[in-house]
Each structure stands twice: as C-alpha cells, then as structure tokens.
Amino acid sequence: MLKIGLLSTAHMHAASYAAQVNAHPSAELVGLWDDNAERLAKQAEAYGTRAYADADELLAVSDAVMICSENVHHKALTEKAAAAGKPVLCEKPLAVTPDDARSMVETCAAAGVPLFTAFPCRFSPAFQQLRDLVGSGALGEILAVRGTNRGRCPGGWFVDKALSGGGAVMDHTVHVTDLLRVLLGSEAKSVFCEADSRLTPGDFDDTGFLAINFESGVFATLDASWSRPKTFPTWGDVTLGVTGTKGVVELDMFAQESVLYSDTTGRVAFQGWGSDIDGGLVKAFVRAVTEGGDSEIATGEDGLRAVEVVEAAYESVRTNRVAAVRHR
C-alpha cells in the first residue's frame, strides 16, 4: 500500500483527491496536515484519516504527498517534501510565478524526488478521445482552438492575491493551457489578454479573455473568467472548439450530466455522471510513484509551462500589448 499524506486542504479539490485515494486498492490516505487547526480537525474526520499538527511528522509516515494548500504555499511545502524525499502531486497552478515553479522543479530534481502537477483534465475520456482523433490525423492539420474554463467566483483565499497570486486568470488559465500543449505538441509563444474586475466586488481579476499563440502557428483563445453566476446550474465548464483542415471537434468536458429541477432546494442543477477525472489523476500518480516510467500525468515542468502563460497574460493586461512567453 502506498501511504499518501495530504498537505493542506485549503483547495477544495483536496476532498475529491482524498476520496480517490481512499477508494484506490493499493493506496491509503495516511494522514493530513493543515496550518488551519479547525480545518485540520474537520477534514481529518471527513476523510476518515489522522490529523497531524506537524507536517514533518506526516511526511515521516508518508510514501508520497499531495499538496492542496493556497497557491503561495506550494513552493515551501514542495521544498519540505523534497527534503524528506517524498514524491509530490501539487495542486495547480504549480506556483504563482515561473521563477518559483522553476525553483520547485529544480529542488525536486536535485533531491531525486518526482514532482507532478494536478491537471486532472488530461484524464477526461472525452479529451483523451480528442487527443487520439488528432493523433490519427482525422482532423487534418489543427488551425485554431477556442477554449473556455469558466466558473463561479470561488471566493475565500482565491480572491486574496497575497494567498492566490492573482484572480481568475491565475486560477483558470492553466488547465486549458495544459490541454492545448498536450493536443498541439507545441509551446505557447505569446499571449494577449483582456482582463478586468467587474463581476464580483474586490480588487482581483474576475474576467479574463486570453489569446494564446503557439510556436507551431496555431492560435487559440481561452475564457478564464469567473463569469458563472451563483444561480448557474453547475460550477462551470471546460470546452474546446478545435478547427482542423479536415474537420472540427467540439469538446464539452462536463456535458455528461442530467438536469435536476428541485423544489426542495429551489434550484436547477446539473448532475454530472461522467467518469471522475480526479480518479484518473490519482491512479496515474500512484502508478507513477510505484512503477515510475512514462505516464500521462503532468510533470512539474508541465506545471511550469502553464504558469509562464499566466505570467505573460498578466503582462499583457498591464501593457495592452502582446506579451512574449518567457520560458525558464
């Protein structure tokens, strides 16, 4: 059994990852640590695992860790895990700056510890089918992609730049950027971005429209906005509209859903029933740690590339011009 420790549950994805570890036949959630005592006690009980007040103690009993802290703490926690020699699956974005992300990659490499980035969308069966379609040549040459990763404003620490490093562009640029890199086999070269703070009160970007140009010549746009209202029937979306010389594909990653009209809650809600992409991510993490070798899981390097696009987007917002993506 692979003993997995959970470092912080600040990010809401922690609950899903914990459940996936608990459900895994050859992994177990050995415990969790959180810098917030109340959250620590509550989540340890919720996930049915042991609470550790000291992260080092948890690391000592873990074979590998998942980091679900606020974005700014990813780097320090990754360094701590690397020092203890424990493989890391870190929530996205890998870091709030490319320099931090590069440092994490190098620290882990120096310690001989594998570092992975939590990009679960790679494990969407619909995306994998799209990737295979592209690979088969059925779409011909890919010319352009329109992407969206829209959501509700998550509030909490996500809108506190001191903890999140940015707003919607920081939160929602990286998933689709990673999918595009996988799909196109090319790196982002430059970015134009219009972003603003107009939907939710507070000093953070809640609207972000990116245009991303790839080295291969393919152009894409990405709506990273927190533009879904509280009454929206689901949390948000991930979509890709791919135009190729031989055809087009529309991917709507979470369209596998039924619609529930509830007089009990007074709401209309989408009930997703598609395959759980977090399950694919956790299985791949366990496989990568126990078996090593090639895996579909995103590496620290992949996480870094996505953060570079975030940096260029914010630069473009400041200058109103196209910003070059600076690779580290």
Partner 1 sequence: MSDSLTVGIIGAGYIGTRHAACWSRLPGARIAAVADIDRAKAEALAAPAAAAVYESAEALLADASVQAVSICTPTDLHRPIAEAAARAGKHILCEKPMALTPDDCAAMTAAAEAAGVVFTVGHVVRFFPEFADAKRQVERGAVGNPAAVRTRRGGSFPRPESDWYADPKRSGGVILDLLVHDIDWLQWCFGPIKRVYARGLTDRGLERLDYALLTMRHENGVISHVEGTWADPAGFATTFEIAGDGGLLTFDSRKARALSFAARAPQPEGAAPGVVVPASPLAAEDEPFYRQIAAFADSVVNGAPLAVDPADACRAVAVAAAARESLRTGEAVELG
Tell me the window of 100-108, 155-163, 178-186, 206-214 that interacts with partner 1 (CB under 8 A).
Answer: 206-214
Interface positions, 124-143, toward partner 1 (CB under 8 A):
143
Determine the Cα–Cα distance for residues 246 and 140; give it in Å rounded to an integer: 5
Alpha-carbon distances, residue 236 vs 89, 92, 136, 166, 211 (angstroms)? 24, 17, 30, 19, 20
Sheet architecture: strand order including 27-33: 51-52, 27-33, 2-7, 64-67, 88-91, 115-118, 298-299
Q: Which is nearer to partner 1, 202 or 279 (CB)?
A: 202
Alpha-carbon distances, residue 278 vs 67, 132, 269 (angstroms)? 14, 20, 21
Q: Which is nearer to partner 1, 78 or 227 (CB)?
A: 227
Q: Which is nearer to partner 1, 15 or 255 (CB)?
A: 255
Interface positions, 220-279, toward partner 1 (CB under 8 A):
220-221, 223, 225, 227-229, 231-232, 241, 243, 245, 247-248, 250
CB-based contact 4:11 (threshold 8 Å): no
Number of residues that bind partner 1 (CB under 8 A): 34
198 binds partner 1 (CB under 8 A): yes
Angle formed by the axes of helices 300-319 and 98-111, nearest 10°: 170
Tell me the window of 56-64, 197-205, 255-263, 300-308 that interacts with partner 1 (CB under 8 A).
Answer: 197-205
Answer for which of 15, 76, 84, 199 binds partner 1 (CB under 8 A) is 199
H/E element holding 203?
none
DSSP, residue by residue, 44-79: HHHHT--EES-HHHHHHH-SEEEE-S-GGGHHHHHH
Q: Which is nearer to partner 1, 42 or 228 (CB)?
A: 228
Determine the Cα–Cα distance for residues 97 and 113; give it in Å rounded to an integer: 21
For the window 281-320, what string marks contact with partner 1 as x by the rule CB under 8 A? ---------------------------------------x
| Shortest reach from residue 62's CB to partner 1, in Å | 42
End-to-end CA distance of the chain: 36
Task: Indicate the pairing of strand 142-148 with strand 219-223.
Answer: parallel
Q: Which is nearer to partner 1, 124 or 207 (CB)?
A: 207
Answer for which of 63, 91, 171, 206 binds partner 1 (CB under 8 A) is 206
Residue ranges in contact with partner 1 by CB under 8 A: 143-144, 146, 192, 194-196, 198-200, 206-207, 209, 211, 213, 219-221, 223, 225, 227-229, 231-232, 241, 243, 245, 247-248, 250, 320-322
